[in-house]
Amino acid sequence: VAGRVALPTGLEKSLTAQILHTYETRLFPSAESIEVKRAFIEKFATILVTEFPEWEVDIHVFGSSVNGLGTSRSDVDICLTTEHRELEDVFVLNKALRKHQMRTYCIPRARVPIVKIWDPELRIASDINVNNTIALHNTRMLQTFVAIDGRVRPFVMAVKHWTKCREINDAAFGGTLSSYAWVNLAIHFLQTRQPAILPVLHPPAPSLDADECRAAGEVDLSFNDDIAELREFGRANTESLGFLLYAFFRTYSYEFDYRHQVVSLRSGCYLTKAQKGWDSGRPARIFCIEEPFSTWLNLGHSANTVSVEGIRREFQRAFAILREGGSFDQVCEIYQRP
Ligand code: 3AT
Ligand code: MG
């Protein structure tokens, strides 16, 4: 098969078994953690009704607690929708939550302002935004990808697990990449296998020019979510989880051209920085991962030259461990600060 690099005999099967074992025993969320999340959402809803009895506020859960890619330890991402725009001021929500013994921290000046919550009683973290509904659509998109092929969920969760263990999954404070950026990278990798494991869900080109959309604040939200039609799209590809992870590490160690290429899940291929006009101007465009809906956004913007070099070294380290017959646990060994 084109592009197939050999993994030492016997190791591929063993690696697949190790990934599945980690997935089943450590990554797949426990029934208890799902119950805690449910209890938190109920408690949060009660606080809203108590504090804002006159206002109609809807609660939408998004992110990894509903897209199939969360663990027992994942936070709960919540989007509130309301016509009472006063609530878009995160300090209004913050004040209300504090009355109910929630520990909170506001990030008011982010692109999407949020209130971060830690509930000391249920021991759970949550990020709340108000009226920013775009993430509800990309959550549904990820749910669709997860439903198409049985390898997607364990593969993407294995990648997320590795990034968290190696401390390269912290866009806000670590200057690396967010979970969402990593998930885009992992899904795109499955789209670019020969034959592909995942399809392109979006229409061929944005039906509106990206700069025009940005100016108008308009985003084309359409994508193919017909799971019944798409299910088993990847059947012609028989690559194992172990091989896929090995090939993923190799791709971003030695094959991906960080200087010129852009990862585009929307297109299911690599674009060039020149094509997107990302080759000039701001020097921060080092690792380019196009947001599939808001195509003018680079999900890699949080990582600078030094951290992208660190990320690449992590890919090379992981690849070297597997090539030499090491285990998935070794790949995911907790990062020790020098
Ligand atoms: P964890 O399990 O919490 O690590 P997650 O999938 O919940 O992973 P994040 O917490 O990074 O991922 O983000 C929560 C969701 O917010 C995921 C995605 O639906 C949305 N999101 C995050 N970053 C962006 C972005 N830059 N543009 C659009 N949507 C985003
Ligand atoms: Mg999350």
pLDDT in tens, 223-276: 999 999 999 899 999 999 999 999 999 999 999 999 999 999 999 999 999 999
Task: Give the per-residue pLDDT at 301.
Answer: 95
The reply to whether ipTM tops 0.95 is: yes
Ordered by start, the domain boundaries in the chain are: 11-27+135-331, 31-132
Q: Residue written as tokens 């809203």? A: 48
Cα(49)–Cα(34) distance, integer angstroms: 23
Give 280: exposed, middle or buried? Use CB within 10 Å, 0-12, 13-18, 19+.
Answer: exposed
Instruction: Name the strands in the sheet holding 57-62, side by side, starting at the edge strand that comes first in the sequence.
Output: 57-62, 76-82, 124-130, 114-119, 103-107
Residue 72 has pLDDT above 80, yes or no: yes
Cα(220)–Cα(234) distance, integer angstroms: 26
> Percent of the chain scored above 70 by pLDDT?
95
182 lines ligand 1 (CB under 6 A): no
Summary mean pLDDT of the chain:
94
Q: Residue written as tokens 């000039």? A: 280
Task: State mean pLDDT over 80-87.
Answer: 97
Given phi > 0 = left and psi -120 to 50 = alpha, else beta, which region is 123?
left
Q: State the distance from the centre of ligand 2 to the C-alpha of 72, rounded, in angstroms.
A: 11
Cα(329)–Cα(319) distance, integer angstroms: 13
Ligand nearest to the CA of 289: 1
The CATH number fitting domain 31-132, selected from 3.40.50.300, 3.40.640.10, 3.30.460.10, 3.40.718.10: 3.30.460.10
Q: State the distance from the centre of ligand 1 to the C-alpha of 179, rounded, in angstroms.
A: 6
243 lines ligand 1 (CB under 6 A): no
The residue contributing the CA closest to ligand 1 atom 28 is: 135
148-161 burial by CB neighbour count: b if 16+ within 10 A, else e? bbebbbbbbbbbbb
Q: What pTM was computed for the model?
A: 0.96
Task: Give the per-residue pLDDT at 2.
Answer: 41
Residue in 71, 117, 127, 180 to alter for ligand 1 test, most ligand atoms within 8 A of Cβ: 180
295 lines ligand 1 (CB under 6 A): no
CA angle 183–133–71, rounded 5-degree value: 35
Q: State the distance from the centre of ligand 2 to the C-alpha of 136, rounded, in angstroms.
A: 12
* Strand segments (E) across 201-278: 261-264, 269-272
Residue 217 has pLDDT above 90, yes or no: no
Ligand nearest to the CA of 169: 1
Cα(235)–Cα(239) distance, integer angstroms: 10
180 lines ligand 1 (CB under 6 A): yes
Cα(200)–Cα(268) distance, integer angstroms: 5
18 lines ligand 1 (CB under 6 A): no
Residue 124 has pLDDT above 90, yes or no: yes
Residue 325 has pLDDT above 50, yes or no: yes
288-306 pLDDT per residue, tens = 999 999 999 999 999 999 9
Ligand 1 atom having least distance to the Cα of 291: 27
Give 165: exposed, middle or buried? Use CB within 10 Å, 0-12, 13-18, 19+.
Answer: middle
Cα(160)–Cα(86) distance, integer angstroms: 36
DSSP one-letter string for 66-130? TSS---TT--EEEEEEES-GGGGSHHHHHHHHHTTT-EEEEETTSSS-EEEEEETTTTEEEEEEE
Residue 220 has what DSSP assignment? -
Task: State mean pLDDT over 50-64.
Answer: 97
Q: Do 40 and 126 form a contact (C-beta atoms < 8 A)?
A: yes
Task: Give the per-residue pLDDT at 205.
Answer: 66
Residue 1 has pLDDT above 50, yes or no: no
Q: State the distance from the centre of ligand 2 to the C-alpha of 104, rounded, in angstroms.
A: 16
The residue contributing the CA closest to ligand 1 atom 17 is: 63
The CATH number fitting domain 11-27+135-331, selected from 1.10.1410.10, 1.20.1250.20, 3.40.50.720, 2.60.40.650: 1.10.1410.10
Confidence band of 206 (pLDDT split at 50, 70, 90)? low
Residue 298 has what DSSP assignment? B
Residue in 37, 77, 295 to alter for ligand 1 test, most ligand atoms within 8 A of Cβ: 77
Whole-angstrom distance between the N-terminal and C-terminal Cα of the chain? 41
Cα(137)–Cα(127) distance, integer angstroms: 17
290 lines ligand 1 (CB under 6 A): no
Q: State the distance from the centre of ligand 1 to the C-alpha of 265, rounded, in angstroms.
A: 15
Q: State the distance from the centre of ligand 2 to the C-alpha of 65, rounded, in angstroms.
A: 7
